[in-house]
Amino acid sequence: MNWTVNRIAHLQASALGLNDAEKTALHRAARNIVMKDVVPSKIDESDSRGTRLLDDDAAAAVLLLVPLARLAMDVRGLREIANSLFAIRFNETESEIAHTIAKVKEGKTVTMVTKLRLHNETGKLGPFTAFKIEGEEPAGEVAELLSAQNGVFYSDLATVEVPTSDILRPFLS
């Protein structure tokens, strides 16, 4: 299905029962994510206004990135997170966002965890994202990211948990 920013923002604002100021802020954040090419989109050739169209995965990614954008995360950080959402899962054929959507459709509770980490040796700062899925035991890098222990190489500066299943359920219905 082809989604537009207006449709995504309206759907989410309605589902959350937002007031006018919050609706405007949500719309602005979603629009910035799409217009700055954080998620893949295509221009609607039949619309002279240059409307951007998004597929289901990109629309879901916008909904998950809006809370982070509202926390004043810069575009580069949002792109890094978006790239991890569209990355193919280890030893699988589907992307993280497609896997997450499937789990939400199954009725599972899913939370996106984003940590802002500082590499202790290089001083490089970057976001790392993983999903906690009800009934699944995290493994590998995901388990390391979700653990409460700081690694030898990284210092966790901030952790943001986005209630993914709550955000995506109205979108998927």
**60 CB-side CA count, 13 A:** 27
The pLDDT value given to residue 59: 94
pTM: 0.75
Tokens of 98: 């497609």
Region of residue 130 (left: phi > 0; alpha: psi -120 to 50; beta: else): beta
Six token digits for residue 15: 């589902």
**What does the pLDDT look like over 145-162, one tens digit per residue?**
666 665 667 787 888 899
User: Smallest Cα–Cα separation from 54: which of 67, 43, 68, 65?
Assistant: 43
What are the residue ranges spanned by the domains of the chain? Answer: 5-172
Which of 170, 173, 167, 169 has its CA nearest to residue 62?
167
Could you give the CA distance from residue 30 to residue 130 in angstroms, rounded to a whole number? 21
Measured between alpha carbons, how far is 52 from 15 in angstroms, rounded to an integer? 22
What is the identity of the amino acid at 150?
N
pLDDT of residue 75: 80
pLDDT of residue 153: 73
Residues of the chain short of pLDDT 70, as ranges, are 1, 72, 139-142, 144-152
